[in-house]
Amino acid sequence: MLNDQAMSVVFDGSPLKAMQSHSHTAQAALSAQELSQEIKSFISGVDTVQGRKLSVREHARCAVRLLRSVPACRGAVLEHLRGVYDEHVSAFLHNLETEGNASSGVSSNLEDIIQEVHGVLSEFIRLNPRAWAPLVSTWAVDLLGQLSSKHAGRRVAPHSSSLNELLQLWMSCAATRSLMEAYSQCLAAMLAWCPDACVDALLDTSVQHSPHFDWVVAHIGSAFPGTIISRVLACGLKDFCSHGAKDQGLLVMGVDKGNRVPKIGSVVGILGHLAAHHSDSIRKELLRMFQESLSPSSPLSPTSSSTSWESSPQLRRAAVPFLLQLTAMSPNLFGAVSAELVELLRPPVLLQLQALLQGLPREELDNILGLAVHLISQSPSGGARVLRFLADTATPASVIISGPTPSPHEGVREGCDRLLQMLLLHLHKLVFNRSDGAEANAHHSAPSQPQRVIPFLEELQSHVGQLCAETLRLERKRHLWLHQLLCLLSVYRGPSIATEALCQLLTQARNPEELALAWQLHTTLSSCMAGLIPAAVARCVAQIHTHTLGPRQLRQLLLNLAAAIQSQDEERRGAAGAQSSMAIQVGSAVSGHLHDFGPLLLHGDPAVSHAAVRLLSCSPLPRTSSPAHLLLLSRAAVTYFFLALRRRGEAGKVGRDGGQAAEAVNCSVLLLSRFAAYSPLTLKAVLQQLVEGALHKGNADLFGGQIADMSGAPVLSPSVSPDLGASLLDINCRFGTTVNFSGSVWSVFHAGVIGKGLKVRGVAQLPDPSGVIQNIQTLLAVIVQCCSSSGLNGSINGSRSLSDPDEPLPINAEAAKVVAVTLVENVCPDVANGELSWPPEEHARTTVERDIHIRRCFEAHPVLFPLLQVVAAGRPALCYCSAVLRGLLATLLAHWEASREVSSTDSPWHLQASCLLVSCMGEGQLLPPVLANVHEAFRHLTPFEVRLLLLAVWEYVRGNAPMPQKFVFSSEKGLFCRDFSRDGDVARYVAPIHSVLHKNIDRLGHLCWRFQL
Amino acid sequence: MGDIRQSLLPRDVLSAAKELLYHLDIYICNLVQSGRQPPQVDSKTLELVEEFILHAPKDRNTPARRMSALQELQLLEIMCSCFQEQSRDTVRQLMFSALFNLQGNQADESRMALLGKLVSMAIAVGRVPILECAATWLQRTHRVYCVRLAQVLVDDYCSMVPGSVPTLQNIHSASPRFCCQFITAVTTLYDLTSEELTPPLELLQMIVSWIQDDPRLVLITFLNTPLSGSQPISSLDVTPLGGLVRWCIKAPLVYRKDKKQALMNGSEESEPEAGPLFSALHLSVLQVFMLLPNILNEKGLYGRLALLQMESLAALTSDLSRLLDQADKHTHTSSADTHALSQLALDRLAQALQVAMASGALLCSREDLRAICSRLPHNNLLQLVLSGPVMYYNNIHTPPLAFSPHAAHSPIASHPTLPTHPTIPTHPTIPTHPTLPTHPAHTPHTPLATHPSSHPQYSAQPFMTGMPFPFRPSH
């Protein structure tokens, strides 16, 4: 009877094709008698024919046969099969535990029987789902629950919290997999006509065997997401509600005790598992739950069935706390919801929410708020949006409307206000308790363990810029909140964020009040963070380098820095506060980056360069700096100086921004003077560049100069000068030579081409003489400032003392020498005969051309004389100008000799030049006072007499060469002085003077005393 | 017998039940032997049964003990052999009643559950005594519970376990009495009012084949029961005739609907059509009616016992008119088809009425019939039946047909006598009907002609031979 033919098993085609050779017809062979025997065998477990005990396998086969033929045995067979499944699971787990070295035969034997059973069941379900699906689903779910609970404690079984591992384990076991498949099949069939029943059964079992059963629900849920998710949620809500009502303490304790609710843990586990693949539907479902719970209850709503949670007011009230609790327990779910939740919170929803929450007792409300705060602080994304939402709602745009009756939004606003404050408090605690936690960790775990992460702040760090911008708007409470948040963020993330925030504030602040926020931030943070300001400044510099800032921002940043440094000065005057140290820090930080700010002086935007000069002029100079940087800086500063002068002139013309342009000039003067005082190197560089710049053709017009050509003559614009058809190039080509016959006949083109008459001289049109004078004044002031040896001490107040004539500053000899040398190099590039001592006057004709060039230079650049005067003041520097003086004097002599005018006043420029020259030489002590005073008489004399006097000067200088070594430093005056008594007798040279005096005694009587020896 | 309770209490569920059965057997044997009339099982014993076999909670304090499904199966097995081994019918009957007669208490639910399993199992393993007892139970019990038992059996054999229909089919040979009661219960259960209450096709096939094989099957209960007038109230009808007539008449309209739905669902029906089955059934039912006059006469009940109740007919006609209304309303496309089906239903009604009246199964006046059928749409045959002269079949001298032993299982053999049958005189009225020749849609019997091979014995319908339908030979 137990032969193979009797073992008729028909499969629905899937698992065991090999067994299909057994024919279905074998069943027909079972007569009533045989069936009766079969039942007896099944009941007793003994083969009634052969009288031996049935093996598990045979017994199971027998059961399957009965299942196929005797309907009344159904219950008993299914019950028996429970044992078979259980046995298989035991064997399977045992096999795993013993690493598969034993009893593999048993498990494989049972595996095929399980597949047989599965085949039969699934065939039945397929043929008649209505009859079998409820039956089998109940059986399968119950058995699954029983199996998972029973074997949960096994060694190989993973902990119930790790759903995925559980799922993997159970799905690799044939018995549980088969049950799962059978259940899925039933569910798929039953969904058509009674989805509620089958899911409820599932969840009931889930509750009974929770949490070991969660893997089943999770698996089924991923197969039928739409059905399962909403029901799991509803189920959890009901449970939550009943527990919440029973145990108020649970809710009060909030998050930490959440695991005490048995079902919510399961719900979280299941949904968490589903979230991997169905986060979208879960999100929709959660949000739907939220909305449904808020929308006014409509008992006759067509969408909700009478059994669903929507119809119960109590459940609706509990939905929001439940959702909060749920999301608090699962980051996955929270992540799914948080992104869209804020979008949902429109004013009407908020009102509903408020109405809902108002009904709650105070304690519970606090609880919910606490939970919400916790959630926000844990939110990994969307934090910025939440923050903006809260702030917007807490401080609505129109605040004036709140009259005697509070507007309906008042409650909502207060709620948000409170929430925000609680959030800040919470974050505060988190941030400042972190270090304690880290210490505690250090005791019993690796010290390198990262600190507790606060996702909200993590996310906000990328929005520091926006936060700063919002803070700077200085809107009532909002900026206080945000400022506090910035502090927390900075403390949380350490110097990098703090630096960033400070840098942003420095860049974005537009007035002192706003800038004060930066200092407040720094004051808060300085206690726990060192080197913040240098880092912030370095970061600003980096921004400058990467050109991420627009001109306006750049300007603002520079001005803010300057203001910061200047506040230091004010502090110094007043009471030294906490800010002063900060201002000093800013100053020193900026000074370290001067070379980075330097190039900004030449920024295309005048505002930026103005701001840069403001900053540079007030920033202290670094203690040490590389020469390259210094040179670059000095070049930039000087260039800016001329730019500023030009702008001042233009502004004066147009009539606007005069004050600012003047202020820019002042700043640049200050900068230059301070810079020059910094070191000999910078002094030299500055002076050299100042002089060069003043004579440069681009700047010459500032000082009333004209652009001179190579020969020193002013160049005409091509349109003005007629084309004479003569070209030096042509001539040079014609002679096949490029030799420069400088000083020879070939180069004498300055007067014109032979045969064409004199060259047309350009009419020198001096723009705005007052401007020129002002510019020259400024230039001189700068140079004097630079040259004055007062140095660092007086640099701060230098601009004041410039305009004060009562405090003449001694000119530094070295500085003057620099000016002198530079001047000579520029005026007289031809170094031939450049020695200091003078030849006899007759030899001057060898240097006629160079002399003419020099004279023309002086003609073109009126600023040269004042410069000479400066040089003269810095004795003995004028000696180095010897060549220039000689050349000029030679041309003047030639002029006066050739002049046929009645009075010297008929050649005004030459008269002036002669006077200035002689007075300079006198000032520079190249001439003794007797000779130096002769210029006072010039304008009363005839040209010839002037020549006589000048000749005397020449003779003297030739006799007493202008050597610097003739000067000795007199410490009482602080100056170099020349002792003329050591030189030859002056009387020899005074004779012509006395002759001229005699000749014109009627007019020069009052000057006689000036020429006494 | 109540004193054994204390000894049963400590036992486990199964052995307690076994022991109780054992004691019950002895107790009932003693009861019968004592000759007390009527033998009555006392209430103490019934309580013991409820406590230890049906596991109804004795009182609220003691939790109900429950048997596992395996234990229950063992118990069923024991019961089966117990009934099988008991040779005396009376003892068996008494025992069955003690176990399963409804007491109107909360134990009835488990009683019904156990009974369903027992009968189902008895069918599977062929325990005739149990089936006989069950047949009696079906006669005495309120029809609601009978219907439930039938439902369990139909579920078990026709829907749950595929391929088990033949097992159920066997009850025809095992216990005709049970089979007859089963048919009655099933026809009561499936009144074709809704989709759930439409018999599964397997069941229909089975019943049709049973009745075709032996039309007298439906009368077995009637024949074997002494009509003492002690028929319990609300029990099943004595014969399934009323239910079968209802099936045949409503089927064209109900099944057409199903078919339409199936077509809309797009599923291709590979199962045999229900239509021909109902046609065959209708014929068989008419044949059974034809058997009745002799039987009634023999029992002396002719004209005194209505096997078809007027009330059920009234319910049937109102159902029918409702169905026809629905068919008219919901039909948009195949109105011709609908019309044909409606006419088929009405034709069957007319035929059943006519034959039932003629055979004495229906006792009423033509006035009553007209009242019942007033709301039905026009049908020629029905019109004829309602208006024609009543030709009561009162020839009591006609030799009995159905009672001849050789004819019991072969109705064909008895049919040659039909031409001389006195129902023939009713036929002359048919040709005189003016509309009859123009009656092409009226083909209620045509489906029969399409199955000549499956039902060869009906190819020469004696009932039809006398009818000069001009179109008949062409089929």
pLDDT digits (tens, 9 = 90+) for A176-225: 888 888 888 888 888 777 766 667 777 777 777 767 777 887 788 777 77
- C-beta of residue A854 within 8 angstroms of C-beta of residue A872: no
Name the β-bridge partners of A978.
A967
Chain B partners within 8 Å of A35 (Cβ): 124-125
Structure tokens at A95: 């096999």
pLDDT digits 0-9 by tens, A797-838: 444 444 444 556 677 788 888 888 888 888 877 765 567 788
B155 vs A67, A76, A131: nearest CB: A131
Closest by CA to A124, choosing from A171, A55, A59, A77, is: A77
A40/B contact by beta carbon, under 8 A: yes
**Mean model confidence pLDDT for chain B:** 76
> What is the pLDDT, as a whole number, of residue A719?
44
The residues, ordered by sequence, that sit 6+ positions from B273 with a Cβ below 8 Å of its Cβ are: none
Give the count of Cβ contacts less than 8 A between chain A and B: 82
Supply the ipTM of this predicted assembly. Answer: 0.75
> E strands, A665-800, where?
none
> What is the pLDDT, as a whole number, of residue A971?
75
Is a pLDDT exceeding 90 seen at residue B182?
A: yes
Residues A818 and A863 grouped into a single domain: yes
- Helix, strand, coil percentages, rounded to 5, for chain B: 65, 0, 35
Alpha-helix runs per DSSP H in A750-846: 769-787, 792-795, 798-802, 813-827
The residue-averaged pLDDT of B55-60 equals 72
Mean pLDDT comparison of A824-838, B289-303, B345-359, B420-434, highest-scoring range: B345-359
B120 vs A43, A72, A76: nearest CB: A72
Mutate to test the interface with B, among A48, A73, A81, A135 (most CBs of B within 10 A): A73
Is a pLDDT exceeding 70 seen at residue A648?
A: yes
CB atoms closer than 10 angstroms to residue A31: 11
Chain A partners within 8 Å of B74 (Cβ): 43
> What is the pLDDT, as a whole number, of residue A7?
39
Rounded to the nearest angstrom, the minimum Cα separation between B174 and chain A is 11
Mutate to test the interface with B, among A39, A130, A136 (most CBs of B within 10 A): A39
A461 in any annotated domain:
no
Task: Categorise residue A643: left if φ over 0, alpha if ψ from -120 to 50, beta otherwise.
Answer: alpha
CB contact under 8 A, B126 and A33: yes
> What is the pLDDT, as a whole number, of residue A310?
60
Is a pLDDT exceeding 70 seen at residue B445?
A: no
Question: How far from chain centre, in Å, is Cα B52?
Answer: 34
CB contact under 8 A, B125 and A68: no
CB contact under 8 A, B124 and A70: yes
The residues, ordered by sequence, that sit 6+ positions from A715 with a Cβ below 8 Å of its Cβ are: A706, A707, A708, A709, A762
Could you tell me which chain B residue has the CA closest to the CA of A83?
B70
Chain A partners within 8 Å of B166 (Cβ): 28
pLDDT digits 0-9 by tens, B198-253: 888 889 999 999 999 988 888 888 888 776 666 777 888 888 999 999 999 988 88
CB atoms closer than 10 angstroms to residue A268: 26
Residues A47 and A171 grouped into a single domain: yes
Of A60 and A508, the one with more pLDDT: A60
Rounded to the nearest angstrom, the minimum Cα separation between B205 and chain A is 18
CB contact under 8 A, A76 and B73: yes
3-state secondary structure labels for all residues of A326-388: HHHHCHHHHHHHHHHHHHHCCHHHHHHHHHHHHCCCHHHHHHHHHHHHHHHHHCCCCHHHHHH
The residue-averaged pLDDT of B168-177 equals 88
Q: Give dist(CA B153, CA B116) in Å, integer.
A: 7
Rounded to the nearest angstrom, the minimum Cα separation between B244 and chain A is 26
pLDDT digits 0-9 by tens, A664-703: 888 888 888 888 888 888 888 888 888 888 888 778 778 8
| Domain C-terminal end among A177, A200, A223 | A223
Mean pLDDT comparison of A143-157, A490-504, B74-88, highest-scoring range: B74-88
The residues, ordered by sequence, that sit 6+ positions from B432 with a Cβ below 8 Å of its Cβ are: none
A37/B contact by beta carbon, under 8 A: no
Is a pLDDT exceeding 70 seen at residue B410?
A: no
Q: Give dist(CA A69, CA A387) in Å, integer.
A: 69
In the block, tokens 């202008």 appear at: A962
Mean pLDDT comparison of A120-134, B130-144, B301-315, highest-scoring range: B130-144
A11/B contact by beta carbon, under 8 A: no
Structure tokens at B204: 């229909």
A615 in any annotated domain:
yes
Q: Could you say which DSSP state residue B235 is in?
A: B
CB contact under 8 A, B159 and A72: no
Residues A793 and A816 grouped into a single domain: no
Residues A21 and A94 grouped into a single domain: yes
A48/B contact by beta carbon, under 8 A: no
Instruction: Please count the structural domains in chain A.
Output: 4
A194/B contact by beta carbon, under 8 A: no
A396 in any annotated domain:
no
| Domain C-terminal end among A177, A192, A223 | A223
Question: How far from chain centre, in Å, is Cα A639?
Answer: 31
Residues A594 and A638 grouped into a single domain: no
b/e for A738-756, b at 16 or more Cβ within 10 A?
eeeeeeeeeeebeeeeeee
CB contact under 8 A, A69 and B156: no
Residues A592 and A715 grouped into a single domain: no
- C-beta of residue B379 within 8 angstroms of C-beta of residue B324: no
pLDDT digits 0-9 by tens, B93-108: 989 998 998 888 888 8
pLDDT digits 0-9 by tens, A367-376: 778 877 777 7
Residues A803 and A844 grouped into a single domain: no
Of A433 and B100, the one with more pLDDT: B100
Is a pLDDT exceeding 60 seen at residue B460?
A: no
pLDDT digits 0-9 by tens, A416-431: 778 888 888 888 877 7
Is a pLDDT exceeding 60 seen at residue A112?
A: yes
Q: At residue A61, what is the residue type?
A: R
Is a pLDDT exceeding 80 seen at residue B21?
A: yes
A217 in any annotated domain:
yes
φ, ψ of residue A271 in degrees (nearest 5): -65, -35
Residues A982 and A999 grouped into a single domain: yes
> What is the pLDDT, as a whole number, of residue B352?
92
Residues A717 and A829 grouped into a single domain: no
> What is the pLDDT, as a whole number, of residue A2?
40
- Dihedral over Cα of B135, B141, B146, B148: its sign: negative
Chain B partners within 8 Å of A81 (Cβ): none
φ, ψ of residue A716 in degrees (nearest 5): -95, 155
Closest by CA to A27, choosing from B180, B306, B161, B327, is: B161
Residue A967 host element (H or E): strand A967-970
CB atoms closer than 10 angstroms to residue A560: 25
A390 in any annotated domain:
no
Residues A819 and A710 grouped into a single domain: no
Question: How far from chain centre, in Å, is Cα B45?
Answer: 34
- C-beta of residue A170 within 8 angstroms of C-beta of residue A148: yes
Residue A976 host element (H or E): strand A975-978
Is a pLDDT exceeding 70 seen at residue A761?
A: no
Alpha-helix runs per DSSP H in B266-387: 274-299, 310-330, 335-359, 366-373, 380-387
A339 in any annotated domain:
no
Is a pLDDT exceeding 90 seen at residue A728?
A: no
Cα angle A255, A259, A261 (rounded to 5 degrees) comes to 105
A966 in any annotated domain:
yes
Question: How many alpha carbons lie under 13 Å from residue A573 in its C-beta half-sphere?
Answer: 4
CB contact under 8 A, B117 and A24: no
Structure tokens at A113: 């029987």
Ranking A542-551, A998-1007, B15-24, B368-377 by mean pLDDT, the lowest is A542-551
Residue A969 host element (H or E): strand A967-970
Q: Give dist(CA A665, CA A655) in Å, integer.
A: 16
CB contact under 8 A, A128 and B160: yes
Chain B partners within 8 Å of A73 (Cβ): 73, 121
> What is the pLDDT, as a whole number, of residue A758?
64
pLDDT band at A454 (very low <50, low <70, confident <90, very high): confident
> In terms of residue numbers, what domain contains A596?
541-572+586-622
Residues A861 and A786 grouped into a single domain: no
CB contact under 8 A, A43 and B76: no
Q: What distances in angstroms separate CA B157 from CA A135, A670, B166, B192, one per listed residue?
A: 16, 112, 9, 20
The residues, ordered by sequence, that sit 6+ positions from A355 with a Cβ below 8 Å of its Cβ are: none
A736 in any annotated domain:
no
Q: Give dist(CA A486, CA A461) in Å, integer.
A: 9
Q: Give dist(CA B374, CA B406) in Å, integer.
A: 43
Is a pLDDT exceeding 70 seen at residue A41?
A: yes
Chain A partners within 8 Å of B76 (Cβ): 72
Beta strand A975-978 with A967-970 is antiparallel
CB-neighbour burial class of residue A581 (10 A; exposed 0-12, middle 13-18, buried 19+): middle
Rounded to the nearest angstrom, the minimum Cα separation between A131 and chain B is 6
> What is the pLDDT, as a whole number, of residue B347?
92
Residues A39 and A104 grouped into a single domain: yes
Task: Categorise residue A696: left if φ over 0, alpha if ψ from -120 to 50, beta otherwise.
Answer: beta
Q: Give dist(CA A595, CA B338) in Å, integer.
A: 103
The residues, ordered by sequence, that sit 6+ positions from A143 with a Cβ below 8 Å of its Cβ are: A82, A85, A179
The residues, ordered by sequence, that sit 6+ positions from A1006 with a Cβ below 8 Å of its Cβ are: none
Is a pLDDT exceeding 60 seen at residue B138?
A: yes
Residue A975 host element (H or E): strand A975-978
Interface of B with A in 22-81 (CB under 8 A): 68-70, 72-74, 76-77, 80
- Helix, strand, coil percentages, rounded to 5, for chain A: 70, 0, 25
A956/B contact by beta carbon, under 8 A: no
**Mean model confidence pLDDT for chain A:** 74
Is a pLDDT exceeding 50 seen at residue A464?
A: yes
The residue-averaged pLDDT of B266-287 equals 76
Question: How many alpha carbons lie under 13 Å from residue B51 in its C-beta half-sphere?
Answer: 22
> What is the pLDDT, as a whole number, of residue A296?
62
Closest by CA to A816, choosing from A877, A726, A880, is: A877
pLDDT digits 0-9 by tens, A615-637: 888 877 777 778 888 888 888 88
Question: How many alpha carbons lie under 13 Å from residue B298 in its C-beta half-sphere?
Answer: 15
Q: Give dist(CA A188, CA B294) in Å, integer.
A: 57
| Domain C-terminal end among A223, A258, A284 | A223
> What is the pLDDT, as a whole number, of residue B348?
92
Structure tokens at A567: 């506040």
pLDDT digits 0-9 by tens, A343-396: 777 777 777 777 777 777 777 777 778 877 777 777 777 777 777 777 777 766
